Amino acid sequence: MALEDKTLKLCSCNKTIPIDAVALARALKSAAPIMVHTELCRREIEHFNSALKDDACVIGCTQEAPLFSELAQQAGARSALKFVNIREAAGWSAEGAQATPKIAALLALADAPESEPVPGIRFNSGGHVLVIGPAEAALDWAERLSAELEVSVLIARARGEAGPRRIDAAELPAQRGYPVWSGRPKSVTGWLGAFDVEWEQENPIDLDLCTRCNACIRACPESAIDYAYQIDMDKCRSHRQCVKACAGIGAIDFKRADSARSERFDLVLDLSAEPLLRVAHLPQGYLAPGADPLEQALAAAKLQALVGEFETPGFVTYNERICAHGRSGKLGCTRCIDTCSTRAISSAGQKVVVEAHLCAGCGGCATVCPSGAMSYRYPRVPDLGGRIRRLLRTYAEAGGRDACLVFHDGEATLDVLMKLARRGRGLPARMMPLEVFHPASVGIDVLLGAIAYGASQVVLLVSEKQDADYGEAMRSQLGHAQTILAGLGYAGAHVHVVASERMAAMERELWGLAPAATVPEPATFNLSPEKRTSLEFAIEHLARHAPAPKDEIGLSRGAPYGRVEVNQQACTLCMSCVGACPESALADSPERPQLRFIERNCVQCGLCVNTCPENALVLAPRLLLTAAARQAVTIYEAEPFKCVRCGKAFGVKAMIDSLTGRLASHSMFAAGEALKRLQMCADCRVVDMIENKDETNIFQVKR
């Protein structure tokens, strides 16, 4: 895999990285020999400067990326620089001498096409911040922030404290420099630049109206009012002298009818002991440091950086047409809603709504979506698949064996990998790290695609928090992938989640992984933007080369493949399930009373089961690998019912029998003629009604 039109600058970092220049040149299909420097960032810096004359330059070092970038800027160079970590990722390892195929593969990624840009989501923050919490802390931070930000304060009663008996007391500032309210917070919704806060005004004194004239303090005989200008209801004896003293202002009202308050803010600093927002990932602009003074100071510093216009990627796209969330008031798949850690996804009838401003980009929704209605695009699956294929192909062509892809998020888990290389054994020579925005975005389509491309294993490195938030969803998808691979006879464990931020534990787990069986012939297809198309490509390739081919593989509950089983004693062929199926897996027959099923289309969403009025359907997860999965097969055929008058078939016997049985005791069908009419076709029913003129009709019923 040649680095086309790019200059390659490699350094052994003072001879601590064993680089075989000849083998590496052969692996990269380089016509010219590769020069390996020893101190490119120091004594040999001129070699880098000379490379800036070229259009593009790949540097095998990330530690000194700031230095090299600064030198290029000072030189006014137009050369496009790309930095590749070959030291911690490959060379610094107990198997560094065998890492040439991995180094070649990592360098080859520098020549991969850039991912297609994704639409951005805009945020606009004017710096209006609401400080919520106990009076002393809230007012203190409001004073500190007021010079830089537009501040408002909501003095909030502690969570769980019953009734408006007492509010946390702290003397209000002598100067009214910003709004101060008090009350019980009810809800905080929104995102950076658009937080809607609702609270209930509980204390009789409305701080927004109060002039702080002290008349109420002097008038109160029980000293129930202090310089926080709130009434201590435990001391108050209802003399209402304060109301009289404040009559002209109207700030005190013990019988306030409208106590609901709401405002919109750009930022929220929540100093409550427990955050008012209970989500795994708080939205941008909402900071909840708790009562720790250091954390509060760090949060306050962040607030000042959150003023202006911002943009984040639009991480996911949603195809309502193939969504299996609901139909006709019945609920089906809710996996994306259940997985989302930011509450960015909500139900809206038969579809879901994605609030892109709340999306944190984990991609878990796309990973668990069985139909592909949710798809991840940072990067898009075809772009990620192209990088994986290039990495594995270069590794194999360079002589590498038993490739293992190690996905990480470039943050917490990457730090552990770096420490592993600096202090421990590093990564095994067969393990190639690959950064993604979030490991939860790596779904079963990418997992099986990687194995089809020739990988022996795939490892998802996750932090302990990521494991707590998404571990169940990730392991579920990995479990389905492993079941399919094991069912086809591929020996070993192919997919793993390693959840640790401790170097020793991660080192033990990674080095303890034994290689699993690989496909004898790597696939050449491209992963598709459509999830189920990618899965079909991968599964078909793996099945074609399977050590132990099978026609059917049993899967666990929640798998995206399976069949529907019909209780033929209960089914009336009402076809409610056909109308409910969003994937066209169920269909009727225009010729005969039949229920037909195309198994490859079924996503096991359960809408048919939830819609069936007779409870006649159950889901049966499995993966059918024969041509029958693509064909419409009859899963139930009922005996037709013939009109009792003309003999023409017009319905299903089971349905007519059920209908007449249920209505036999109804007063409208007490007469035998009315009940018998249900057993007639539409034409005969009209004729029968005309012939029976003496029969009571609706117009003869007295009011």
Least confident stretch, 127-131, 208-212, 521-525: 208-212
> What confidence tier does 653 reach under pLDDT thresholds 50, 70, 90?
confident
pLDDT of 698 above 60: no
Q: Which residues pair with 181 in a beta bridge?
A: 154
Averaged over 541-559, what is the pLDDT? Answer: 96
* HEC profile of 512-543: CCCCCCCCCCCCCCCCCCCHHHHHHHHHHHHH
Lowest mean pLDDT among 326-335, 520-529, 587-596: 587-596
Helices 444-452 and 464-487 pack at an angle, to 10 degrees, of 50
- Provide the pLDDT for residue 462: 96
The tens digit of pLDDT for each residue in 271-291 reads: 998 899 988 899 999 999 999
More confident residue, 652 or 233: 233
- Reduced to 3 states (helix: H, G, I; strand: E, B; else coil), residue 620 is strand
The per-residue pLDDT for 525 is 97
Q: Note whether 127 and 307 are within 8 A (CB).
A: yes
- Per the model's pLDDT, the better-predicted residue between 232 and 702 turns out to be 232
Residue 665 has pLDDT above 80, yes or no: no
Percent of the chain at pLDDT exceeding 90: 76
Mean pLDDT of the chain: 92
Does pLDDT of 170 surpass 90? no
Task: Please report which residue ranges of 257-376 form alpha helices under DSSP H.
Answer: 293-304, 335-339, 364-368
Mean pLDDT, to the nearest integer, of 454-483? 95
Q: Across residues 32-61, what is the average pLDDT?
A: 92
The answer, yes or no, to whether residue 458 has pLDDT greater than 90, is yes
- What tokens does 472 get? 């169940």
pLDDT of 630 higher than 70: yes
Give the model's confidence band at 686: pLDDT under 50 very low, under 70 low, under 90 confident, else very high. confident
Single pTM value for the model: 0.88
**Which range is most confident: 28-32, 72-76, 364-368, 570-574?**
364-368
Per mean pLDDT, which range of 72-81, 97-106, 469-478, 684-693 is the poorest?
684-693
The Cα-based distances of 141 to 136, 152, 153, 504, 554 in angstroms read 9, 11, 9, 41, 59
Compute the average pLDDT of residues 179-186.
93
The confidence band for 1, taking pLDDT boundaries of 50, 70 and 90, is very low
pLDDT of 677 reads 82
pLDDT at residue 164 tops 70:
no
C-beta separation of 317 from 289 below 8 A: no
Q: For 392-450, what is each residue's pLDDT tens digit?
A: 999 999 999 999 999 999 988 999 999 999 999 999 999 999 999 999 999 999 999 99
Exposed/middle/buried for residue 125 (C-beta within 10 Å: 0-12, 13-18, 19+): buried
Copy the structure tokens of residue 381: 């699956």
* Nearest C-alpha neighbor of 105 from the set 78, 83, 77, 86: 86
pLDDT of residue 294: 95
Per-residue confidence (pLDDT) for residue 639, from 0 to 100: 79
Cα 703 to Cα 685: distance, rounded to the nearest angstrom:
27
**Distance in angstroms (rounded) separating the CA atoms of residues 98 and 20:** 9
**Mean pLDDT lowest for which of 254-258, 285-289, 296-300, 638-642?**
638-642
pLDDT of 167: 53
* Secondary structure of residue 333 in the 3-state scheme: coil
C-alpha distance from residue 601 to each of 251, 528, 532, 591, 618 (Å): 65, 17, 9, 22, 16
For the ranges 285-299, 547-561, 684-698, which has the lowest average pLDDT? 684-698
CB 224 within 8 A of CB 165: no
Per the model's pLDDT, the better-predicted residue between 653 and 577 turns out to be: 577
Give strand pairing partners of 624.
552
pLDDT at 702: 56
- Give the C-alpha separation, 391 to 555, whole Å: 31
- The pLDDT value recorded for residue 703 is 56
pLDDT value of position 157? 66
Tell me the pLDDT band of 239, cut-offs 50, 70 and 90.
confident
Tell me the pLDDT band of 483, cut-offs 50, 70 and 90: very high
Determine the pLDDT at residue 4: 66
Higher pLDDT, 279 or 659: 279
Residue, of 659 and 380, whose pLDDT is higher: 380
Region 68-72: mean pLDDT is: 94
Q: How many helices (H) and strands (E) does the chain have?
A: 21, 31
**pLDDT tens digits, 87-140:** 999 999 999 999 999 999 999 999 888 888 999 999 999 999 999 999 999 999
End-to-end Cα distance, the chain:
89
Residue 699: per-residue pLDDT:
57
Output phi, psi for 353, to 5 deg: -120, 130
pLDDT of residue 696: 59
pLDDT digits (tens, 9 = 90+) for 590-617: 878 899 999 999 999 999 999 999 999 9
Per-residue pLDDT, averaged over 130-155, amounts to: 95
- What sections of 545-575 are H helices per DSSP? none
| Confidence band of 656 (pLDDT split at 50, 70, 90) | confident
Q: Over range 32-37, report the average pLDDT.
A: 90
Averaged pLDDT for residues 329-340: 95
